C-alpha cells in the first residue's frame, strides 16, 4: 500500500468508527504498554527468570513502538490511524505534542533491529548496553498520551479514554 508523503490528511472514516478505534484499539495499546512495563519492573525487582523478563520486555517494545509510530509518524498508509483523525485542532496538537525524546527514538530503533526484524545488528550476549530501562520510556510515552487525550475531540470520548486519563493523572 503506498504511503502518503507531506501533509497528512484526515481519514474519511466515520466518527463512529474513529470513536470505536480510540476506545478499543488505542485504549488496548496504552493499557498493554503500561501493564507490560509494570510486569517487567516487577520481574526485574524479584529477580525472575530471564524468559519472563524477555516476554515482558518484548510485549512493552511492541506496544511502545506502535504508539511511537501513531504519535510521530510523518506518513501513513491508507488504513493507518493517525492523531490528525481524532484531534480538534491538528496544528495545536503538533505544537503541544512533546518532541520525540531520545529514549522513544532509541526504543523504536532498537525494537526494529532487535525484535521486529532478524538483523545482524542485534545486541549479543548479556552486556549492559543490551539492558532496557523502561520506566523513563513509559514516562515519556505517557506524557504524549496525556497531551493527545487533552486534544482529542469530545465526540470520540468514551469511558476507556477517561480510564486512561485517570490512570495518567
Q: Confidence band (pLDDT; 50, 70, 90) for 10? A: confident
Q: What is the pLDDT of residues 11-22, one digit of tens each?
A: 888 999 999 999
Q: What is the pLDDT of residues 91-147, one digit of tens each?
A: 999 999 999 999 999 999 888 887 777 767 776 666 666 677 888 999 999 999 999
pLDDT reading at 40 higher than 70: yes
- Residue 3 neighbours by CB under 8 Å, 6+ apart: 75, 76, 77
Q: What is the pLDDT of residue 37?
A: 83
CA distance 153 to 168: 19
φ, ψ dihedrals at 132, nearest 5°: -120, 135
In a 13 Å sphere around the CA of 164, the CA atoms on its Cβ side amount to 29
Q: Tell me 152's DSSP state.
A: B
User: Do 88 and 95 form a contact (C-beta atoms < 8 A)?
Assistant: no
Grid coordinates representing 156 are 470520540
Q: Confidence band (pLDDT; 50, 70, 90) for 1? A: very low
Q: What is the pLDDT of residue 3?
A: 47
Grid coordinates representing 117 are 526484524
User: Do 151 and 85 form a contact (C-beta atoms < 8 A)?
Assistant: no
Q: What is the pLDDT of residues 64-93, one digit of tens each?
A: 999 999 999 988 888 899 999 999 999 999
Q: What is the pLDDT of residue 30?
A: 92
Amino acid at each position: 500500500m503506498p504511503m502518503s508523503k507531506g501533509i497528512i490528511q484526515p481519514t474519511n472514516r466515520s466518527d463512529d468508527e474513529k470513536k470505536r478505534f480510540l476506545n478499543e484499539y488505542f485504549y488496548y495499546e496504552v493499557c498493554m504498554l503500561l501493564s507490560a512495563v509494570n510486569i517487567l519492573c516487577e520481574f526485574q525487582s524479584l529477580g525472575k527468570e530471564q524468559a519472563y523478563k524477555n516476554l515482558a520486555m518484548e510485549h512493552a517494545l511492541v506496544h511502545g513502538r506502535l504508539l511511537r509510530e501513531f504519535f510521530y509518524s510523518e506518513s501513513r498508509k491508507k488504513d493507518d490511524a493517525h492523531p490528525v483523525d481524532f484531534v480538534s485542532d491538528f496544528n495545536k496538537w503538533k505544537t503541544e505534542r512533546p518532541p520525540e525524546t531520545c529514549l522513544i527514538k532509541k526504543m523504536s530503533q532498537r525494537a526494529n533491529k532487535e525484535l521486529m526484524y532478524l538483523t545482524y545488528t542485534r545486541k549479543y550476549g548479556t552486556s549492559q548496553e543490551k539492558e532496557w530501562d523502561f520506566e523513563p520510556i513509559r514516562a515519556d510515552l505517557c506524557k504524549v498520551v496525556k497531551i493527545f487525550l487533552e486534544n482529542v475531540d469530545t465526540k470520540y470520548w468514551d469511558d476507556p479514554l477517561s480510564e486512561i486519563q485517570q490512570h495518567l493523572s
